């Protein structure tokens, strides 16, 4: 039933997540179907590109009406594996870590924080948004105990790699890294770097081009 593990370009995956948000809003507004032209008007993207992206999900549309909204949302979620329930742990409960723990949308993505970690004695033992904060020393043990596959890194650069190594040691195979430094993982694991500086680079360059109207 499920489409096999075809390769979907990262850029398409990102657009699919974008569509998801939009489609959820449409769903909330009571729509039952959606066309690529309507999506195009609202999202300012090429309708052909939208159709092409949607083809990756395996969903087929109907001429004149478009795509069944519920089916499309479900297919995208399947594609992104947002229908699967996934336990995660997070290291670092500073402002960023706390923001992540309080981000209610994660539930939509099947994403659930099982445990948090910090090295600050005053935080250990407390709960943040219902998630208990443990000593970083116990990352590997607890990851293994709860069979957690995803680790979020929200610690300073200096300890990022050590935290990742502990996660890997505990059986984590997917790292979502928010520290500015890249971290290394073996080939048996995956890492996704979510660095502010990347989108900032795009923004500041765009801004300068906007400003420099001189020829």
Partner DNA sequence: TTGCAATCGATAAATTTTTACCGATAAAAA
Partner DNA sequence: TTTTTATCGGTAAAAATTTATCGATTGCAA
Of the residues 16, 19, 26, 36, which one makes contact with DNA according to CB under 7 A: 36
Under rule CB under 7 A, residue 51 binds DNA? yes
Stretch that binds DNA, among 57-65, 126-134, 180-188, 207-215 (CB under 7 A): 57-65
Whichever of 47 and 110 has its CB closer to DNA, that residue is 47
Q: Which of a copy of itself, DNA, none has residue 146 at its interface (CB below 5 to 8 Å by kind)?
A: none
Which of 32, 60, 99, 201: binder of DNA (CB under 7 A)? 60
Q: Rounded to an integer, what distance in angstroms lies between the CA atom of residue 58 and that of residue 53? A: 10
Place of tokens 């850029």: 11
Task: Please report, for residues 2, 23, 143, 144, 215, the alpha-carbon distance to residue 12 in angstroms, rounded to integers and kept in the order given.
Answer: 19, 16, 31, 33, 35
CB of 28 to a copy of itself, least distance (A): 12
Q: Which residues bind a copy of itself (CB under 8 A)?
A: 5, 8, 10, 13-14, 16-18, 20-22, 25, 43, 79-82, 84, 86, 94-96, 98-100, 102-103, 105, 109-111, 149-150, 173-174, 176, 180-182, 188-190, 192-212
Phi-psi region of 123 (alpha: psi -120 to 50; beta: other; left: phi over 0): alpha
- Quick note: the x/- pattern for DNA over 62-91, rule CB under 7 A, is xxxxxx------------------------
Strand, helix or coil for residue 131: strand
CB of 180 to a copy of itself, least distance (A): 6
Q: What angle do CA 100, 17, 9 make, to 5 degrees?
A: 115
Q: How far is CA 158 from CA 35, 154, 182, in A?
A: 48, 11, 11
Determine the Cα–Cα distance for residues 203 and 169; give it in Å rounded to an integer: 37
Which residues does 27 contact at the CB level (< 8 Å), separation at least 6? 69, 70, 73
Query: Where do contacts with DNA occur on this chain (CB under 7 A)?
Result: 9-12, 35-38, 46-49, 51-52, 54-55, 59-67
């Amino acid at each position: 039933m499920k489409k096999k593990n075809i390769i979907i370009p990262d850029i398409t995956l990102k657009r699919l997540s974008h569509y998801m948000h939009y489609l959820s809003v449409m769903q909330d507004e009571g729509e039952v179907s959606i066309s690529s032209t309507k999506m195009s008007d609202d999202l300012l993207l090429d309708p052909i590109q939208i159709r092409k992206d949607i083809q990756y999900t395996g969903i087929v549309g109907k001429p004149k009406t478009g795509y069944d909204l519920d089916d499309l949302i479900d297919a995208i979620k399947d594609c992104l594996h947002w229908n699967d329930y996934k336990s995660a742990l997070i290291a670092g409960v500073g402002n960023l870590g706390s923001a992540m723990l309080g981000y209610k949308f994660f539930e939509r993505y099947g994403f659930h924080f099982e445990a948090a970690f910090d090295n600050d004695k005053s935080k250990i033992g407390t709960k943040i948004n219902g998630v208990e904060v443990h000593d970083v020393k116990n990352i590997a043990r607890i990851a293994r105990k709860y069979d957690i596959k995803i680790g979020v890194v929200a610690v300073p650069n200096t300890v990022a790699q050590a935290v990742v190594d502990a996660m890997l040691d505990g059986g984590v195979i997917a790292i979502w890294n928010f520290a500015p430094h890249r971290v290394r993982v073996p080939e048996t694991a995956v890492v996704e770097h979510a660095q502010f500086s990347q989108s900032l680079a795009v923004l500041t360059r765009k801004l300068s081009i906007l400003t420099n109207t001189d020829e």
